[in-house]
Chains A and B, each alone.
Chain A
């Protein structure tokens, strides 16, 4: 499985991609595979503020419900509406059409502390 090198990764298997001050977030393909068939994504409301390291949503699968932790603090500008009808997009393409949240970051500084693709690959290879 190829891990895109245009973004950063959290220990808890979220990814974040920066374009200007807009950060797009989702969960990694590894996480999606582990959760198995995803049935629902509870995402924050557009306009709400979210805090780095805090839960900002819940991902439900046939196996379990797990929290989506925010990679950076900011204001939600868009969520992936298509996941409402097609939560399976996350399983099919976690790094592309399975994206979840776009937010206007207060400070993208914390992203520097996250893993790059190579480090994330090592992170998941261990377990």
Chain B
């Protein structure tokens, strides 16, 4: 167990590498109850969120969720999150480490707006099931039909007096679901999912934060505090795809100026020679000169290679560029490669 943003979290159960492989080949259960879960209600909810999110939320139907960022006025990233549109309200799932900051930020901007912000984090629990067998297993387990819920969609409602939300999303690069239920039912849900007390399903096993990190690195997904922070703008961090500079939101003006001036650094993927792991803050060099820094790295269990994400000067960001990572005075050769490092086979997906 480890302390994380005030929560006591499982780093691993059986071993990070084993849990990683299990997620890629079968199905893992992650307790992600530490993630912030916020509810935004009121007539102004859409325009309120539009004014804060980098992503364009226009046209989102109930049952749709989208990945977005929120920025400060200067374009620095406050957090990344999933925004979801319910029938009568909106939801946000944000990082545990930023929850209080985001709640304060929302409340500060809610003054004189017809919106209310409710922090439902401690009242609810959230469990993620991820892996190639996750969809089939969850469909068999849930007493109602959610087979029509595609990627970045969700089902929500009340079943036997229990309100639930089931997102078809995740943070591992695999298909799967994230299930939110009242906190009091968390244990029951976990037992149900893991088959505790009955015949356990060997395909479904628990996994911890350690595997969650190596899985998301392989999937090229940013982690706040590594690839994203208040000193980093979404464009440099490779998040232009969810940053709509044609609409107005807090930070948009600064970001337009930055885009026009050209970006000084870019987030890239690196593959290192050998088996050493590049850690956050290690320096990246070109011809002995420092041109960037590592944000995350691991020995990829799936690829068997040392991979990392790094911010490098724009001149050195092209795929195939030969760079080096400084391991305390010893340079290890590294090549710029395409992100993500890993993509799941998509043939059977709906």
Contacts and interface: CB of A to CB of B under 8 A. Distances in A.
Whether both chains belong to one complex is answered with: yes
Interface of A: 36-37, 39-40, 42, 58, 60, 62-63, 65, 84, 87
B63 interface: no
A73 B225 CA distance: 40
A37 B275 CA distance: 13
Contacts, number: 35
A36 B299 contact: no
B11 A63 contact: yes
B277 A39 contact: yes
B279 A65 contact: yes
Interface in B75-111: none
A87 B275 contact: yes
A107 to B, nearest CB: 28
A63 B16 contact: yes
B277 A36 contact: no
B276 A42 contact: yes
A63 B210 CA distance: 7
A84 B275 CA distance: 9
Q: Which 3 A-B pairs have the closest CB atoms?
A: A39-B299, A62-B16, A40-B275
Interface string B277-307: 1010000000000000000001100000000
B330 to A, nearest CB: 9
B200 interface: no
A36 B12 CA distance: 9
A36 B276 contact: no
28 contacts: A36-B11, A36-B12, A36-B15, A36-B16, A36-B210, A37-B15, A37-B17, A39-B275, A39-B277, A39-B299, A40-B274, A40-B275, A40-B277, A40-B299, A42-B276, A42-B327, A60-B276, A60-B277, A60-B299, A62-B17, A62-B210, A62-B214, A62-B298, A62-B299, A63-B11, A65-B277, A65-B279, A84-B275
A19 B328 CA distance: 33
Contact of A37 (B16, B274, B276): B16
Nearest to A60: B277
Nearest to A67: B328
Interface string B194-226: 000000000000000010001000000000000
Given A58-B328, A62-B210, A63-B210, 15 more contacts: A36-B16, A37-B16, A39-B275, A40-B275, A40-B277, A40-B299, A42-B276, A60-B277, A60-B299, A62-B17, A62-B214, A62-B298, A63-B16, A65-B277, A87-B275
Interface residues of B, number: 16
A62 B210 CA distance: 8
A37 B13 CA distance: 12
Contacts of A65: 277, 279
Contacts of B328: 58
Contacts of A42: 276, 327
A57 to B, nearest CB: 12
A3 to B, nearest CB: 22
Nearest to A64: B279
A60 B276 CA distance: 7
A64 to B, nearest CB: 8
Contacts of A40: 274-277, 299
Contacts of B214: 62
A29 to B, nearest CB: 15
Contacts of B16: 36-37, 62-63
B26 to A, nearest CB: 19
A62 B131 CA distance: 21
A95 to B, nearest CB: 20
Nearest to A84: B275
A43 to B, nearest CB: 12
